[in-house]
Amino acid sequence: MSLQTPARTVPPSGGNTASDDRTPPRGGITGVTTRSRILVTGLLVAAAGYFLLPVYWLVVASTKSTGDLFGSFGLWFSHPQFLSNLHQVVTYDDAIYLRWAANSILYAGVGAGVATLLAAMCGYALAKFSFTGRDTLFNVVLGGVLIPATALALPMYLLFSKAGLANTYWAVLLPSFVSPFGVYLCRIYAAASIPDEVLEAARIDGAGEVRIFTVVALRIMTPALVTIFLFQFVGIWNNYFLPLVMLSDAKLYPITLGLTSWQSFADRQPQLYQLTVGGAFVSVVPLMIAMVALQRFWRSGLTDGSVKG
Amino acid sequence: MPTRAPRRRRKLAPFAFVAPFLLLFLLTFALPIGYAVHQSVMDVEHTGALGLGGSRTVFVGLRNYTDALSDHAFVRSIGRVLLFAAVQVPVMVALSAGLALLLDSASARGVRFFRAAYFLPYGVPGVIASILWGFLYVPGVSPLVEGMRHLGISVDLLGGDTVLWSIANIVTWEFAGYNVLVLVAQLRTIPAELYEAARIDGAGAWATVRHVKLPLLRPALILTTVFTIIGTLQLFAEPLVLKPVSSSIDSAYTPNLSAYNEAFTNDNYHLAAAEAVLLALAAFVLSFGFLRLINKRGGDA
């Protein structure tokens, strides 16, 4: 709450700074000198430069022709032709790029949605019912958080190819449905925020367990659920190893795999360098905007998880 | 009898709630681990003269493990990610904590903008981040290399000694902002009275950081460190994408790359399975060991 004080007084568009000087120092720390303020701001600006540099490069590069991509200074515009680049990206090879984008949306959207619901059910049960094997189950799930996903992908491929599931949409979707971290977060959140009295009252009123879960529990757990959905969505969207291992048909590729397949052919077909850069720009910008817009949801869930961790 | 049916349903309810997750968890976690362990102790044996008499899969015990651990390239790849982790994990955690404290400090302005700027790269998939930074590393294309050349500094960001740290830079760039967000969120939970008390005790800004903020950041720092350790050992996409532009990256540059290569280039699934099991074990031991070390209460994670 205290952090918001300075943030709120500075308009995002960098308004007048004169009035900001009257902002009372937060946290009760007095004696903020101009020098330390300049130092802190300088460090923050330098860090912002570091994090934004490649993004800026991408913006500039996405407007260039293949020739200018290699022949002109990387951090400044040269004969911008963004629209014709964009047109090439979306029409190349029968518009395969759009198909990859749709696949990514399918994998990430459906995967994250199902994962969130399953984690909510499991976490809620772990928090609000006592049953045999409950602690064992929770510990096993915690162990799952610690296992690197890429160590699982290879044996999963062998297993799925035996079952005829490799190189299908299911090969990427099924593993996306499972979020041990989601279960962990839901258990902690449900334990802290759903009062037993409310559940008891609902039971006395004759409500069934499923109804109590959907009407009472899901509603109270919404902030945690939003966080899990976002985590899982970004995780699936950014995943590379699993689809790389599972998929051989380019029509099933998500955008990450599609772009690297373009990049890997680029020595023979230099035009693909420009398509890779343009395609990366188109795929990254919407997610970045979403990221900034949804920041507050990430935060609300993150603390719930880490405070008790 | 109206009460008996609901009571029985209530006994069954938790199992019904847990079942879908548990089923998929078994399918995508337990079963692959079991299968990998099984595959790792088997191997294909060729029979007949010159091995032309057909092949069968036989139990070979730990042979794939000893093969993996006596393969210099694989052992070097493990050493490489451990070295990588030893540098990258502290750098990442220190950078994130530093930025979080700066953002939280009394003299920070435009907090919202900076936080958003730092968090942006988290939305960039690792492969795409590697493609971007790849362009910023390649001599002749990179404005960075070019700019430094103008200043009389010649660096080869893709050379044998440097490319590992160029990869570390990509990983740090991707995830530091996310960690900053976690840490800032934790700092926000510190009650104002604590700052008040510290001020009355005469603590300056630095003393407040040391004695109030850092101790209360501990849980979030632990979380951040564990996730960074797990992420580090999985290193795959970044070296794979940089491989075509750096002759110092081979197909066994990281354990993951090695396992992938064994399985899909050399068709040696059994050795690949052993390598995957070793990798999972290492990640598990390291992160669990770290939790143990940090957590005086022991198993209570």
- Nearest CB among A178, A290, A292 relative to B29 is that of A178
Residues of B in contact with A259 (CB under 8 A): 127-128, 131
pLDDT at residue A306 is higher than 70: no
Between A50, A155, A308, which is nearest B36 by CB?
A: A155
pLDDT tier at A305 (50, 70, 90 boundaries)?
very low
pLDDT over 80 (residue A55):
yes
In the predicted structure, residue B92 carries a pLDDT above the cut 90:
yes
Q: What is the pLDDT of residues A116-142, one digit of tens each?
A: 999 999 999 999 999 999 999 999 988
Please determine, for residue A288, whether its predicted confidence score (pLDDT) is greater than 90.
no
Is the pTM value of this prediction over 0.90? no
> What is the SS3 string spanning chain A?
CCCHHHHHHCCCCCCCCCHHHHCCCHHHCCCCCHHHHHHHHHHHHHHHHHHHHHHHHHHHHCCCCHHHHHHCCCCCCCCCCHHHHHHHHHHHHHHHHHHHHHHHHHHHHHHHHHHHHHHHHHHHHHHHCCCCCHHHHHHHHHHHHHCCHHHHHHHHHHHHHHCCCCCCHHHHHHHHCCCHHHHHHHHHHHHHHCCHHHHHHHHHCCCCHHHHHHHHHHHHCHHHHHHHHHHHHHHHHHCCHHHHHHCCCHHHCCHHHHHHHHHHCCCCCCHHHHHHHHHHHHHHHHHHHHHHHCHHHHHHHHHHHHHCC
**Range with lowest mean pLDDT among A203-212, B168-177, B190-199:** B190-199
CA nearest A73 in B: which residue?
Answer: B143
Considering only alpha carbons, which residue of chain B is nearest residue A124? B17
- Cross-chain residue pair A3–B188, CB shorter than 8 Å: yes
B5 vs B279, residue with greater confidence: B279
Under the banding of pLDDT at 50, 70 and 90, the label for residue B62 is very high
Q: Which residues of chain B have a CB within 8 Å of the CB of A148?
A: 230, 233-234, 279-280, 283
Measure in Å the smallest separation between the Cα of A61 and chain B Cα atoms: 10
Q: Which residue has the tokens 């010649």?
A: B154
Inspect the interface and report whether the beta carbons of A288 and B277 lie closer than 8 Å.
Answer: no
**What percent of chain B is modeled with pLDDT above 70?**
93
pLDDT tens-digit readout, B21-61:
999 999 999 999 999 999 999 998 887 766 667 788 889 99
Residue A49 has pLDDT above 90, yes or no: yes
**Per-residue model confidence as pLDDT tens digits over B157-168:** 998 889 999 999
How much is the pLDDT for A9?
Answer: 30
Chain A residues touching residue B149 (CB < 8 angstroms): none
| Mean pLDDT, rounded, of chain A | 84
Q: Using one digit for the tens of pLDDT, what is the confidence trace for A169-228?
A: 999 999 999 999 999 999 999 999 999 999 999 999 999 999 999 999 999 999 889 889
pLDDT, greater one: A28 or A189: A189
Q: Is A203 exposed, middle or buried (0-12, 13-18, 19+ CB in 10 A)?
A: middle
Angle (CA) B58-B59-B61 rounded to 5° is 150
**Least reliable range by pLDDT among A75-79, A276-280, B93-97:** A75-79
Over the stretch A5-24, which tens digit does the pLDDT of each residue have?
Answer: 233 233 333 333 333 333 44
Which bin fits A4, alpha (ψ -120 to 50), beta or left (φ > 0)? alpha
Residues of chain A contacting residue B191, judged by C-beta atoms under 8 Å apart: none
Q: Look at residue A17 in the predicted model and tell me its pLDDT.
A: 37
Residue A206: Cβ within 10 Å count: 9
ipTM of the complex: 0.88
